Amino acid sequence: MTPHLPQLLGEIYRNESRLIFAALVRLLGDFDLAEDAMHDAFKTALEQWRKKGIPSNPRAWLVSTGRFKAIDLIRRQSKFDPLQAVHAEQMVAETVDPSSQVDKAIEDDMLRLIFTCCHPALSLDARTAMTMREVCDLTTEAIASAFLVTPATMAQRIVRAKAKIREAKIPFEVPPEHELPDRMDAVLQVIYLVFNEGYYTSSGGSAIRVDLSSEAIRLGRLLHTLLPEPEAAGLLGLMLLHESRRSARTTPTGDLILLEDQNRSLWDRHLIAEGLSLVAHAFSSKPAGPYALQAAIAALHAEAAHSDATDWAQIAGLYGLLLRIHPSPIIELNRAIAIAMHKGPEAGLRQIDAILERGELNSYHLAHSARAELCRKLGQIADARASWERALALAQQDPERRFIERKLSELGAASYPD
């Protein structure tokens, strides 16, 4: 008997469930069947491992058990559908026991799964949303937050994308080499959004989800090995440079530390060196793409010995280039913050107010947080308080809410004239 078995299975689920799911999609060829099989396998593990002990390779055991659970389900359904009986026997004939192969094959299963979800038969938004849901197990709410749409809209996209994959019989495979370039944009976007959700979690009790950021970096490395072209290098460099700051981004109790206040001696210099090398490769061909430009901005932060040494003029210029090739209100917001750091808070505030007046980021809490801080620096305390309160109403992450509450407390109870 294993007294801590539920906790162990919970840990395996958190760390391994998406890998197990990807392997089952490869073996079963169906998303919904793989999801049900995986959950059945975990339920069976809770029963059998308590009696027989934990297997030497839990992941392989769960994949193998999930596969046979799926075959049993298909056999039961075959009483009403002879084609299901044929399907079940074909699956049995293909591999008697996949457990001996799973550890080797699983190294590429996540990449296969991403390319399947990013098939050109799907719209770009659907590809990314589908992958974030199926590959990374993000909630519909978290994905909707990343896309700045409602959860209901996102749920509809995911349902339609799954139906399209099933109806079009999209294969579970990495595409042949001649098709790779056309499929890269969606895959890069997927990895980027997964990393962002891990690096700066949209909601919940923690500011960081290391499992997601680490998985995105792993996938980025696989992709760069598979197709070492400049934008793949740019994305990997960008992620590594951001990840290098992880240990300095929060206090031991999980509270946020802004970039300007971070202890830079805690930054991982090995990751920075690797990231800088990748940035150089990303700029080896002209013109630079959006990930290369973002990586160059991250590189300028990494190279600054302290906050005051940051080259904000060059950062603002890079955001300007980025806006030309990849227009986005969030990039425009980041450029406004860089302008504020370079030319002063009044110049940045004008830019942010113009963005908010268009209504594009009215529901984006970081826009209101940025405005609040610039108002504070200008002595516009009433406006700063109003913007912090708006940001607090929109924020869904507990550490961020605590940070905003501290900012409101620091303003004091009194109002000052603007």
Question: Domain limits of the chain?
Answer: 1-97, 108-227, 234-310, 322-418
Number of C-beta neighbours around residue 181 at 10 A = 11
Q: How far is Cα 230 from Cα 141, in angstroms, rounded to an integer?
A: 32
Residue found under tokens 């937050």? 145
Q: What is the pLDDT of residue 285?
A: 79
- pLDDT above 60 for 85: no
pTM: 0.75
Structure tokens at 275: 């990231």
Q: Which residues contact 282 (CB under 8 A, 6 or more apart)?
A: 230, 231, 233, 234, 237, 288, 289, 291, 292, 295, 296
Q: What is the mean pLDDT of the segment spanning 105-126?
A: 80
Q: Which residues contact 255 (CB under 8 A, 6 or more apart)?
A: 399, 402, 403
Which range, of 42-56, 70-84, 291-305, 321-335, averages the lowest pLDDT? 70-84
Q: What is the pLDDT of residue 351?
A: 96
Q: Which residues contact 39 (CB under 8 A, 6 or more apart)?
A: none
Q: What is the pLDDT of residue 98?
A: 47
Residue found under tokens 């700045």? 148
The CATH class for the domain spanning 1-97 reads mainly alpha
Q: What is the pLDDT of residue 372?
A: 97
Residues 223-255: pLDDT tens digits? Answer: 888 778 899 999 999 999 999 999 999 888 888
- pLDDT above 70 for 87: no
Q: What is the pLDDT of residue 417?
A: 44
How would residue 89 be classed by pLDDT, with cut points 50, 70 and 90? low
79 versus 31: the higher-pLDDT residue is 31
Q: What is the pLDDT of residue 228?
A: 84
Q: Is domain 322-418 classified as CATH 2.30.29.30?
A: no
Q: What is the pLDDT of residue 96?
A: 46
Residues 165-218: pLDDT tens digits? Answer: 888 888 888 888 788 777 788 889 888 888 887 777 665 556 577 777 888 898
How would residue 74 be classed by pLDDT, with cut points 50, 70 and 90? confident
- Mean pLDDT of all residues in the chain? 86
- pLDDT above 60 for 69: yes
Number of C-beta neighbours around residue 331 at 10 A = 17
Q: 117 near 130, Cβ under 8 Å?
A: yes
Q: What is the pLDDT of residue 28?
A: 87
Q: Which residues contact 24 (CB under 8 A, 6 or more apart)?
A: 33, 34, 37, 38, 63, 66, 67, 70
